[in-house]
Amino acid sequence: MKLVFSIAAAFVLGTALILPATADGPDGTVQAFVQPVLISISISPTSMDYEAVEFGVNDARPTPASFTLTNNGSVPVDLEIRGDDSRNAGNGQAAWTLGGTPGNETYAHRFTMNSNAQTVAEFTPLTKTFEVFKQDFAVSGNQSVWLSLGMPTQSANVARQILPVTVRALQATP
């Protein structure tokens, strides 16, 4: 009988020891904190013009010669860039295909961050998928980008073209 009493006393004592942990009531509160992150870049200018370029020209440069990116956000970012097929400026329909080298109905669009780039070999071809081109771009930082165009060798489409270049920013990974 003493054994049963000892087990019961231990159970009661164990329960009594647990109670002070919930003395504030059945609910508890956790405060969670967050620091908002602002991802924001600006591009200036937002328009560049190659003007009139003959088919087959492999290294045309626009006016102005470059555009500048500024990190207006609150954290460093990684910058990604991509191109796309051209669109007819008059009706918005697809026209030339973006490729690594110019060809029939295919144009090449390239970029560099090197202001002294003199040849096509010093530029990186744009593709239709985003590719990181600058990592850890500092808050308030500026980065200029220069473009080069390789015109199609031939094309039935002689209308003015829009050559899309898209830059996006993602929070830099530590």
Domains held by the chain: number: 1
pLDDT for 92-132, tens place per residue?
Answer: 998 999 999 999 999 999 999 999 999 999 999 999 999 99
pLDDT score of 165: 98
pLDDT score of 23: 54
pLDDT score of 174: 79
Calpha distance 161→174 (Å, rounded): 40
Mean pLDDT of 146-154: 98
pLDDT score of 35: 93
pTM of structure:
0.81
| Res. 46: pLDDT tops 70 | yes
Residue 85, in any domain of the structure: yes
Residue 158, in any domain of the structure: yes
Residue 11, in any domain of the structure: no
DSSP string for 24-42: T-S--------------EE
| Res. 48: pLDDT tops 90 | yes
Residue 5, in any domain of the structure: no
Residue 157, in any domain of the structure: yes
- In angstroms, how far is the first alpha carbon of the chain from the final one? 66
We report the CATH number of the domain holding residue 94 as 2.60.40
Residue 25, in any domain of the structure: no
Calpha distance 75→92 (Å, rounded): 36
Residue 36, in any domain of the structure: no
Domain span at residue 50? 41-171
pLDDT score of 25: 80
In angstroms, what is the C-alpha Rg of the chain?
31
Percent above pLDDT 90 for the chain: 82
pLDDT band, very low/low/confident/very high, at 173 (cuts 50, 70, 90)? confident
